[in-house]
Structure 1
Amino acid sequence: MWVPPEQHKIVGGALAGLRKRAGLKQQDVAERLGKPQSFVSAYEAGQRRIDVLELARIAQALGLEPEHVFGEIMRIVPPGA
């Protein structure tokens, strides 16, 4: 399913907000994921699409349940988007 770029920015913004609330830097999350900091920067900026498995791993890196992260994203995605 194709997702418009503006939706990638919404998802990335939500993940950035959750990261900041967890008191983590992009580098902290990157290390927990075993990825470069540029990976975190790219998905937070909406420049990289993430799949559901990556979303689950990101949630774990943030110390959150995947269901919580998905719910947070769905809360801010505009209806019908």
Structure 2
Amino acid sequence: MAGTVHTEAYSKLLKALLEVRREAGLSQAQLAKKLGKPPSFVGKYEVGERRLDVIELLFILRVCERESYNFIKFIESQLPDRL
């Protein structure tokens, strides 16, 4: 798969989302249930097999009780100079 899914920046996003889920005390299956998705949904995006769109990201942050603004600012601070 080509594109930004294999970039260092996207890897940092996925790592941060994994931490968000763990800090919320949720397993992949628990998060998936709260999102109304199969457990494979969480597993696949966490390992980079599936890309997330912005709406999905916002729902994940909401379910994990994380402020989207702060999360986005953190990710933005981790971005390299180019894709």
Whether TM-score is above 0.5 comes out as yes
Root mean square deviation of aligned Cα: 1.8
User: Under a length normalisation based on structure 2, what TM-score does the superposition of the two structures give?
Assistant: 0.79
How many residues are paired up?
A: 80
Unaligned residue ranges in structure 2 (runs of 5+): none
Cα gap change, 1:70 to 1:49, in 2 (>3 Å): same
Larger radius of gyration: 2
Q: Distance in 2 between matches of 1:33 and 1:69?
A: 19
Q: 2:67 aligns with which of 53, 65, 68?
A: 65
Task: Calculate percent identity across the aligned residue pairs.
Answer: 35
TM-score for both structures, normalised by structure 1:
0.81
User: What are the superposed Cα offsets for residues 3-36 of structure 1, whole Å, 9 maximum, x if unpaired?
Assistant: 2413433221110011111211111110110001
Shift of residue 54, structure 1, vs aligned partner: 0.7
> Which consecutive unaligned segments of at least 5 residues does structure 1 have?
none
